[in-house]
Structure 1
Amino acid sequence: MTSRAGLPAEESDLIDVDELIAAYYDRIPDPKVSTERVVFGTSGHRGSSLSGSFNEQHILATTQAIVDYRTAQGITGPLFLGRDTHALSRPAERSAIEVLVANDVDVLVDSRDAWVPTPALSHAILTYNRDRSDDEPGRADGIVVTPSHNPPRDGGFKYNPPHGGPADTDATGWIANRANELIEAGLEGVKRTRFADIDADGLGTYDFRDGYVRDLPSIIDVEAIKRAGVRIGADPLGGASVEYWALIGEMHGLDLTVVNPEVDPTWRFMTLDWDEKIRMDPSSPSAMASLVAKKGDYDVLTGNDADADRHGIVTPDAGLMNPNHYLAVAIDYLFSHREGWGRDAAIGKTLVS
């Protein structure tokens, strides 16, 4: 560990938001340079406009590639589109909208023009597809503009197919190859409508937040939590879940406090990670230092990354738990308390969990 890990960020650690966004539009990636090509990791492309790895051309080409992939797969339903709180997420979302609308895709964005956590977008896809067969053309899919827990200088772009979860390597490989072909061709083949020319009829809206929060009792026994009187502290770590946690407490009558509702694209309120970078990693003791310091104030605290698909759990006695240890306890609870779970019930997991 370096000397400043776990300490508050200083002015010198912060990004220049204006510089970052200007580079998104001004810098042209060179497809002959490997680090400036579209490369999908865990379902998405990630990079920074400052290094030529996340710029407007990447997003225009990747969005067109997703449109082409949808066509090849026979997916004709709506596409849910959300973004997190990173500085590059708003401009990338707009670039995506320009391409999607030009291709006559039925795009659904947040009805409040607010941030959308990945679980809420996945929930929207699953809800829409609930009564549709796996081969039905009218199924929905989605895009989340997020680099997850990564530093403020980064941008990210993830595709979620009709099953709601991350795209597999067959899909991401196809999309990345097509996107790079389009960049190499100078974006020939990319359809685009200027954002300023898109009217209200060209863009649909969806209430991601209320639908997600309202449906939580279908999978979580919120009444048991309420009866237990558990004092919960939730830290969105400046991410997309900030308005969700507040509504969860309000709608379900829980003793839940959002301990830090601040959203700032520089993340100046964060403590530095192990390598002295600002990183919203809820599994990192260094990044979670400010939340761990509050462990005596609540029965349980939770932190999320910028798109809220990662969690960190803090308890008064253990401090920051290993996320997988928490999941093991949650699984044990479900097996012993969830009605309808017989001896043949099983748990699905990913290789990294």
Structure 2
Amino acid sequence: MAISPKAGKKALPSDLVNIQKLITAYYTVIPNIDDPQQRVAFGTSGHRGSAFGGSFNEPHIAAVTQAICEYRKMQGYTGPLFMGKDTHALSEPAHQTALEVLAANGVTVKIEKDDAYVPTPVISHAILTYNRDHDDIADGIVVTPSHNPPQDGGFKYNPPNGGPADTGTTKWVEDRANELIRQGNVDVKRVLRADALAAPTTQRYDYLTPYVNDLENIIDVEAIKKAGVHIGVDPLGGAGEAYWEPIAKRYGLNIEVVNKTIDPTFSFMPMDRDGVIRMDCSSPWAMTDMIKLQPHFDIACGNDPDTDRHGIVCSKGLMNPNHYLAASIEYLFTHRPQWKKDAVVGKTLVSSQMIDLVVESLGRKVAEVPVGFKWFVPGLIDGSYGFGGEESAGASFLRKDGSVWTTDKDGIIMNLLAAEILAVTGKDPQQHYDAMTEKFGTPIYERLQAPASPEQKAALKKLSPDMVKSDTLAGEPILIKLTQAPANGASIEGLKVVTKSGWFAARPSGTEDIYKIYTESFKGKDHLALLQKEAQNMVSEAFKAAGV
């Protein structure tokens, strides 16, 4: 995909979303349930859409929340529901809609005491710590579309395991919500806003303090303090903004938040590669400002609006997410002696092969799962996964004692880990990765993406090993053709083809109307280009075969 001339530059006024019109659309646009694009649809992490397009509107949120109420009652969850929101414009009205439905259903809801924003990992942490100490069972909701553009909204359900709901749960909630919408939401219970806020089941809760105070049990904050690591943080206008200074104060860390602006248009953001405002802290275009500021800090980092993603900037610039995952894994599995000796590394099948090489050198094993953090949840819960990470810059890992911290991605601990690595080893994560390349070689990893219709996305999900007629890929014998993940046999909703020196995977996005081709080569740019060409040809053939 060509790089837009707007990439890395600030948006013009004409590029900004009209927040007033967006909120009006949330309340006034009635979704057409017969249009697949306007139904409730849970992707890899919740339901996402835009009010303008009739895919994220009040009827959707009312119906999804009612479905969650019915689901948790059916499951016997009688504890509180922890609910947080990020800084996207649609998060506030959706949060309020959900609260009105939850209150009408008699669900005890914990909302932030100052009506502030709550990061995704903090909700996961709250659920898990509550369920550890209580007999009744808690769950949660996070109102966020993650790093998506300002006009988007998102709504995610986290069950008692604290992580993104599995496909069985989301399928039930999705089907029930669409049924409710089709019936005009007549079976949705709801009270007025004032009554919801005044309800005894609506309880104010301090999310920040327990999370911040617990960080010392997962991060070596004392080492960071002792080394005096100067940390620069750009929350990219997200929910994490309010957390960094309390963390600095609590542990005596030298942290500087370089941008404290909260603006639902995200007008301060450099535009992404495609000329769209997207708060993706793994994008060098979106992180332009932080990259320029890096020389002022020992470690610079960023997060997305719900703070579940991380972006690490070292002296050579923004680290590729795969590179940082590899460096983090090497460090953690050599500096966490209380973890289980047989704890494995969880990785998504589109993450770098460098991770496999590093893990093998450590005498550990890799568990390769489909895209989506939900696949790491069981392993993190029981401590059999020491680490779970995605190529899209999302990861979490265990506490120092080997017990679960979060079962959702946590951008805060991943940022702090970079500082710990520097403090303890004297080398930043990029230097550690550079040493890996001297030992294992230098892979080149690229992800391509392009617009895709729902029909084209469906065709990609039907890719199969049989469609690969050739015995070679980019001049090498094909070793593996995968449509199911090795760790659990779950569908990858696409295809992965592997050779000795490279691989590609093709799959539709679970959250946007695009498809993605992931490629990696250990033989250089020319080999990577050949991989990409053959992968794109295969996708084109799939579209032709499906008539789309």
Distance in 1, matches of 2:25 and 2:89, equals 12
Letter in 2 for 1:305: D
**CA shift for structure 1 position 188:** 1.7
SS in 2 for 1:329: helix
Look up the match of 1:191.
189
Letter in 2 for 1:324: N
The one of the two structures with greater contact order (alpha-carbon pairs below 8 A, sep at least 6) is: 1
Question: Aligned residue pairs: how many?
Answer: 348
Contact map agreement 2:87 2:262 (CA 8 A) in 1: yes
Distance in 2, matches of 1:195 and 1:177, equals 27
Distance in 2, matches of 1:191 and 1:310, equals 35
Look up the match of 2:446.
none
Look up the match of 1:107.
109
Per-residue CA shift, 1:261-285, capped at 9, x if unaligned? 1110000000000111100001111
Per-residue CA shift, 1:235-263, capped at 9, x if unaligned? 10000000011111111110100010111
The partner residue of 1:334 within 332, 335, 360 is 332
Unpaired runs of 5+ residues, structure 2, are 349-368, 372-389, 391-548
SS in 1 for 2:52: helix
Look up the match of 2:289.
290
Letter in 1 for 2:28: D
Distance in 1, matches of 2:148 and 2:343, equals 35
**CA shift for structure 1 position 115:** 0.1
Per-residue CA shift, 1:47-96, capped at 9, x if unaligned? 11111110000000000011111112111111001100000111000000
SS in 1 for 2:285: coil
Letter in 1 for 2:191: T
Contact map agreement 1:86 1:265 (CA 8 A) in 2: yes
Distance in 2, matches of 1:41 and 1:305, equals 18
Q: Are residues 122 and 301 of structure 1, via their aligned partners in 2, closer, same or farther at CA, if it must alter by over 3 Å?
A: same
Contact map agreement 1:43 1:169 (CA 8 A) in 2: no
Unpaired runs of 5+ residues, structure 1, are none
Counterpart mapping for 1:220-299 below 5 A: 220-299=219-298
Letter in 2 for 1:250: K
Distance in 1, matches of 2:12 and 2:145, equals 22
**CA shift for structure 1 position 347:** 2.7
**CA shift for structure 1 position 109:** 0.2
Taking only the aligned residue pairs, the percentage that are identical comes to 59
Counterpart mapping for 1:1-353 below 5 A: 1-131=3-133, 138-198=136-196, 199=198, 201-316=200-315, 318-341=316-339, 343-350=341-348, 351=369, 352=371, 353=390
SS in 2 for 1:314: strand
**CA shift for structure 1 position 348:** 3.2
Aligned-residue RMSD, C-alpha: 1.2
Look up the match of 2:510.
none
Distance in 2, matches of 1:102 and 1:200, equals 9
Per-residue CA shift, 1:3-45, capped at 9, x if unaligned? 1111111111111111000110011111011111000012310
Look up the match of 2:361.
none
Distance in 2, matches of 1:349 and 1:259, equals 32
Letter in 1 for 2:156: K
Distance in 2, matches of 1:220 and 1:324, equals 21
Distance in 1, matches of 2:297 and 2:192, equals 49
- Bigger proportion of residues as strand: 2
**CA shift for structure 1 position 217:** 0.3
**CA shift for structure 1 position 342:** 5.5
Distance in 2, matches of 1:155 and 1:244, equals 23
**CA shift for structure 1 position 324:** 2.6
SS in 2 for 1:347: strand
Distance in 2, matches of 1:345 and 1:46, equals 34
**CA shift for structure 1 position 189:** 1.1
Per-residue CA shift, 1:201-260, capped at 9, x if unaligned? 241121111111110001111001111111100110000000011111111110100010
Per-residue CA shift, 1:186-211, capped at 9, x if unaligned? 00211001112231524112111111
**CA shift for structure 1 position 161:** 0.5
Per-residue CA shift, 1:298-350, capped at 9, x if unaligned? 1111111110001110011x201012321221222222222323542333344
TM-score (norm. length: structure 2): 0.62
SS in 2 for 1:157: strand
**More off after superposition, 173-182 vs 284-293:** 284-293
Letter in 2 for 1:153: Q
SS in 1 for 2:200: helix
Distance in 2, matches of 1:96 and 1:200, equals 14
**CA shift for structure 1 position 131:** 3.6
Letter in 2 for 1:109: I
Letter in 2 for 1:283: S
Contact map agreement 1:116 1:240 (CA 8 A) in 2: yes
SS in 2 for 1:303: strand
